[in-house]
Structure 1
Amino acid sequence: MPIMQIFITTACTQEVRLSLFSSYTAAVNEALGSPPERVRIVMTPVPVEWVCVGGVVGEHIVLINIYLLPGRTREQKRHLIRALVEATTRHTGLPESALRILIYDMPKTNVAFGALSAEELEEQSAALQSSPMP
């Protein structure tokens, strides 16, 4: 389920964007064990003149919001953060100080896949597994 929402001020070429998508997907896969086909990434370019850091307009930043279902360990999250920092600095040339990462553990009742919440899908899966085979 991992969903990443990325706001980035650098003028990324398509090559850089594709490299970031690939590196971010690999980071989530390696750190959390999420299959690549379950990782969702939305990258939004932000004009640098729309960013204010410490009262200074025009500072370059990368803001990464990551939405996860609960259950990841502190170590998994640390591993993910380190991998995202490494990928971002490598592909954008920005310093670590320009990067902010926010991780949100979302209750299963607050995440839907189509019309069913993650909790409902889990309940359906459990019911199927506990049903006697004909």
Structure 2
Amino acid sequence: MPLARIEILTGKPVEYRQSLIRSLREAISDALQTPEGTLWIRLCERKEENFLIPPGRSGDAVLIEISLIQGRSAEKKEALYRTVVERLARDPGVSPDDVCIVVYEPPAENWAERGGVSAARR
């Protein structure tokens, strides 16, 4: 059950925001062979004064944080990064230089869903 959060500057059209969500969903599903029904994605918009973008990146910068249960290889995560960047470049057209991806891997006992059952017990 991957969790993903996309953070962007506020003011983008709804079609652009939906495209970010759709492209990220497809990238995670493809790269990690994750069923779409287990994936949670949130898009958070930030005012410019609340979202410091590093120098050299445009106002289209996208910060993506993905939480996964531990256990994927470095190669699998590298494939995820490449797939996300490729999908976002294709649709909605985000420059690869404007994408930052961070993966968090809490242990399975720190995840619960559907009635509060720990993922470590499934």
Shorter-chain TM-score above 0.5 = yes
Aligned counterparts of 1:55 and 1:10: Cα–Cα separation in 2: 18
Correspondence for 2:77: 77
Larger-gyration structure (1/2): 1
Cα deviation code 1:67-106 (max 9, x no counterpart): 0011212222111111211233344544333221100111
Computed over aligned residues only, the root mean square deviation of the Cα atoms, in angstroms, reads 2.3
Q: Which has the higher contact order (CA 8 A, sep 6+)?
A: 2
Correspondence for 2:40: 40
Alignment partner of 1:4 is 2:4: yes
Richer in helix (by share): 1
Deviates more, 1:94-103 or 1:69-78: 94-103
Deviates more, 1:103-112 or 1:79-88: 79-88
Correspondence for 1:117: 118
Instruction: Provide TM-score, normalisation by structure 2.
Output: 0.83
How many pairs were matched up?
120
Give ranges in structure 1 of 5+ residues lacking alignment. 123-134
Cα deviation code 1:2-53 (max 9, x no counterpart): 1101111163211112222221111111100101111110000111232224
Instruction: Provide TM-score, normalisation by structure 1.
Output: 0.76
Identity across the alignment (%) = 32
Correspondence for 1:129: none
